[in-house]
Chains A and B, each alone.
Chain A
Amino acid sequence: MRGARKVENLVLTVCGLTAALVWIFPIYWAVVTSLRSESHVVSDDAGLLPDGFNLTAFTDALFNTQIVRWYFNSIGTALIITIGVIVSCMMCAYAISQMRFPGRRLLYGIVLASFMIPAQALVVSQFILMSDLGLVNSWAGIILPQLIVPIVIIVYKQFFDAVPKEMREAVILDGGGEYVLLFKLYLPLNWGITTALAIITFIGAWNAFFWPFLVTTTEDMMTIPVGITQVNDVFGVAYARLMAVALLAAMPVALAYLIFQRRVTEAVMISSGVKG
């Protein structure tokens, strides 16, 4: 009986690993391609296994495209978006969850309703607004519409609702006001969900395509997911370089995921309304 169990487990593990390796093959293939020379990539003797360690494609990507500039734009805008979203949504969620003020219900209703409106429906009027404000092709233009992430308020509100009232009263007895309560009690108690939300907000901002694609008009203002689509146009088909550029673009989010795996998983589950 136990022997059969062990064999079953082994078979399942092998099946799972095989499926996962097949699934991930395109990424593997991108890595293998990026480490070859352009001529080897398209030659007949280019096999499935990695051969050699040719970094030309990467140096090419770094020095012959504007990738460093796109990195700078992506890191800058994604960081500002992340901080802006987390701070503004946390403060708003705290007020909705813990305070009584006129318009509280209405405000939360609007947050819930805006969750239903797809951002894509607004791009035309948002673009016109950015143009009126003179913000087309600027960081502010890239950042502003991405600051509205209603789900972060919804998640924070749930977590703040769950903080025991006794802890709140203790702080109030010590003379603490609402800001003290938020930053000395509610935030420290919810560091876990804060980092989780910050990581997926950052990944989302880094990966955003449609809006940055619309609002940037020159190559030097593009974020990395938009910029890398230009490489193709300039050089024609050069797949080793294309894969190197793609891998460089994906590196920060892939690393963030691998390092903070459990937090990312947790945040994805919670923000979709299921508890893991």
Chain B
Amino acid sequence: MAVIRNPRKNALIAASLVAPFVLTFALVFAYPTFQVIRLSFTDSPLIGDGEWIGLDNYWRLLSDRLFYTSLWNNGYFLLLTVVPTTALALGMALLVNKLKGRWQALVLALFFLPYILPVSVVTEIWTWMLDFQFGILQPVITLFNGDPVAVFRNPYWVMPMIALVTVWWVNGFNVLLFIAGLRNIPRDLYEAAALDGATARQRFLRVTWPLLWPITVLVLTLQLILQLKIFDQVYLLSQGGPFNTSYVPLLLVYREAFQLNEGGYASAIALVIFVIILVVSVLQFQLLRIVGRR
């Protein structure tokens, strides 16, 4: 049923409904989006005007060794986090899914809890856990290494340890997504499989895994995007050191803009990072869907 009303009045009412969002969006999102593109072609400092310099910032970026180092480090970080947290979360979700009633709720809540902590709380807890002198995990590290390690000041330990902290922090979110996926698998599929005499392994490989694949793709993609733009935990745990071994692209943006007063150059880096995230995540998403269709 169409509401018989003056279309002009209707448009005015609609405008008043969308106005709060649209005006805020225009001011703090759309305008800065255009600005960051414009700035990337100038030599502006952070505050103040600059000259139009065309593609110079992008050429400069191409020969910035720290940029390549940071990309390489972030790639290594992806290897250490994306697939491991997905596999771990799947295992945890399968375990939680087998539990009954209150125990299930309790175990799930405990797995999820770290995810809702502020990042600086997470890094402070782990700084203490891994403290060189008094950290409770140093005996464990000594077991593997022979000596205690100042992990966030050691070029070999720093990335794996930031990855460990990150996985601990975000894993609960992935567990939750897998649980949702598991609950959406119709029960009668398992009953039918059991009637056909399928073993637990076959039931997992033929029913659970294929039906869970869309969620796995989602988790992998969300994690890829998230871990491509890390800043907080790196800044708080190692500040990119030692010897730039944990330097990541967003740290470069932060340093250029807010410490070296290079607004234009920082904008160019931010844009390149954005394009990389977009390309990599679209590629991965499509690739994983093709793999799933086979």
| A contacts, CB < 8 Å to B | 9, 12-13, 15-17, 19-21, 23-24, 26-27, 29-30, 33, 41-42, 48, 84, 87-89, 91-92, 94-96, 99-102, 104, 107, 110, 114, 116-118, 120-129, 131, 144-145, 147-148, 153, 165, 169, 172, 177-179, 182, 203, 206-207, 209-210, 214, 224-226, 228-229, 232, 237, 239, 242-243, 245-247, 249-250, 253-254, 256-258, 261, 264-265, 268-269, 272-276
Chain B: interface residue count, which band?
Answer: 35 or more
In Å, the complex CA distance between A131 and B183 comes to: 49
In the complex, the answer to whether B103 meets A254 with C-beta atoms within 8 Å is no
| Interface flag for B143 (CB, 8 Å) | no
Q: Closest CB-CB distance, B162 to chain A, in whole Å?
A: 15
Contact of A107 with B22 in the complex, beta carbons under 8 Å = yes
Q: Is B163 engaged at the interface, CB distance under 8 Å to the other chain?
A: no
Q: Is the CB of A265 within 8 A of B176?
A: yes
Give chain B nearest CB distance to A84 CB in angstroms: 8
With beta carbons under 8 angstroms apart, the residue of B24, B103, B107, B271 that contacts A148 is B24
What are 23 of the A-B contact pairs (CB < 8 Å)? A16-B107, A17-B103, A19-B95, A26-B126, A29-B128, A29-B129, A116-B278, A118-B225, A120-B270, A121-B271, A124-B46, A127-B46, A128-B39, A129-B35, A144-B28, A148-B28, A224-B118, A229-B120, A232-B124, A246-B125, A264-B116, A268-B173, A274-B215
B135 to chain A, nearest CB (A): 10
Q: Which residues of A have CB within 8 Å of B177?
A: 269, 272, 274
Docked complex Cα distance between A21 and B3 (Å): 58
Within 8 Å CB of B215, what residues of A? 274
In the complex, the answer to whether B184 meets A275 with C-beta atoms within 8 Å is yes
Please report the C-alpha to C-alpha distance between residue A121 and residue B229 in the assembled complex, in whole angstroms.
9
Check if A27 sits within 8 Å of B113, measured CB to CB. yes
Interface presence of B159 (CB below 8 A): no
6 tightest A-B contacts by CB? A101-B14, A225-B118, A125-B35, A125-B32, A20-B110, A92-B21
- A-B Cβ contacts below 8 A, count: 257
Inter-chain contact A21/B270, CB cutoff 8 Å? no
Additional 17 contacts, C-beta under 8 A, given A114-B29, A226-B120: A19-B107, A41-B134, A92-B22, A101-B10, A107-B18, A107-B22, A121-B273, A121-B274, A128-B46, A129-B27, A144-B27, A148-B25, A243-B128, A257-B112, A257-B116, A264-B116, A265-B112
**In the bound complex, CA of A264 to CA of B105 (Å):** 13
CB atoms of A27 and B125 under 8 A apart: yes
**A114-B29, A172-B3, A269-B176 are known contacts. Are A89 and B124 too (CB-CB below 8 A)?**
no
Inter-chain contact B121/A126, CB cutoff 8 Å: no
The answer to whether B231 and A210 touch across the interface, beta carbons within 8 angstroms, is: yes
Assess the A209–B229 pair: CB atoms within 8 A: no
Given A20-B106, A127-B257, A269-B177: A242 in contact with B113 (beta carbons within 8 A): no
In the bound complex, do residue A92 and residue B128 qualify as a contact, i.e. CB atoms below 8 Å apart? no
Q: B103 to A13, Cβ gap below 8 A? A: yes
Q: Is B11's beta carbon under 8 Å from chain A?
A: yes
Chain B contacts of A19 at CB under 8 A?
92, 95, 107
Nearest A residue to B231 via CB reads A210
Q: B192 on the interface (CB 8 Å rule)? A: no
Which residues of A lie under 8 Å from residue B241 when comparing CB positions?
none
